[in-house]
Amino acid sequence: MHNITNLESPGARGAALPRRDITGVLLLDKPFGLSSNTALQRARYLLAARKAGHTGTLDPHATGLLTLCLGEATKFSGWLLDAPKAYQAQIRLGYRSTTGDGEGEITPVQPFTGSLATIESVLRRFEGVQSQCPPMHSALKVQGRPLYDYARAGLEVARAPRRIEVLEQKVEAWDGEMLTLSLKVSKGTYIRVLAADIGAALGCGGFLCGLRRTETGSFALQGAVTLRQLEALSMEEREKCLLPVDALLSGVPRIDLDDTQSLAIRQGRGLPCDLAGTPGQRFRVYMPTDRFLGICELTAERRLHPARLMTE
């Protein structure tokens, strides 16, 4: 078992941390007030991991599921970056925010006097594929600078609309001012923009005052651990919280190879195959021992070619 008593605290300066190579996927329940990177670095510290990354940021004022990839898992994080994500969002109607959320300057517009049926009717306009303009207060870069830099300088810059999709939405609660929605959306959707647009469509204004991510792809918040829970565990217990790398690829078709085929893939030679599928389709491949080897791609010549492999 590894001991971390000699590790310096996250963010401290001085001697380098005694990091190690450790691989796996950690489902973290990010707390309110921490940036995604700060949460990542604290989890990385607690596991003494040499290499780590996440699969999609959450704003500091948002909480919930942050999927972290350690070691070799970082090679396959891209499969989750494009996955749909689900949220519980709280929208305060009757007000407007300069940032679209509770961090901005809040001004009253007018109370919403309609019914729940009116809200549900308006929400239906926001279902499906649509265009969305990224907010000025975001990390999206224009000419090498994040948009929030321009916003803090009082500048408004042109932003190209992005294609998004609202896959599912449902009213969870409504008390006359606070509207709680459950949402499933495509990659790149800004929920605070959606909240402001819903408020505008209702004619009363609205801003996002609470956001909790509940799903990313096939992963759910119910399987996540908090930083406080992680801190209370021994290193051995922390390691047991890690999921295997191939958990990131549960939606990718699986192929089991024999020893000869496994060796060919590990040596980068590829294999002839008669698999059904289109060129470019990817498969996760395994050795006879059930060891995950990586991802292979089907070529136009009907060969299975290594695309990204685990390190030996």
Domains contained in the chain, CATH given: 24-82+219-248 (3.30.2350.10), 85-216 (3.30.2350.10), 252-309 (2.30.130.10)
> Each residue's pLDDT tens digit in the chain (312 positions)?
223 323 334 444 334 457 899 999 999 999 999 999 999 999 999 999 999 998 888 989 999 999 999 999 999 998 888 899 999 999 999 999 988 888 889 999 999 999 999 999 999 999 999 999 888 777 778 777 877 787 788 788 888 899 999 999 999 999 999 999 999 999 999 999 999 999 999 999 999 999 999 999 999 999 999 999 999 999 999 999 999 999 999 889 999 999 999 999 999 988 988 877 788 899 999 999 999 999 999 998 889 999 999 997
Q: Which of 29, 59, 101, 197 is catalytic?
A: 59
Q: Which of 87, 83, 97, 43 is CA-nearest to residue 62?
A: 87
pTM: 0.88
Q: Is 59 part of the annotated catalytic residue set?
A: yes
Q: What does the alpha-carbon distance between residue 5 and residue 180 come to, in Å, rounded to a whole number?
A: 43
Instruction: Quote the pLDDT of residue 7.
Output: 34
pLDDT at position 147, please?
76
User: What is the predicted pLDDT for the residue at 9?
Assistant: 43
Q: In degrees, to the nearest 5, what angle opens at C-alpha 53 toward C-alphas 4 and 306?
A: 115
Q: What pLDDT is attached to residue 16?
A: 41
CA separation for the pair 6, 219 (Å, rounded): 33
Please give the pLDDT value at position 152. 83
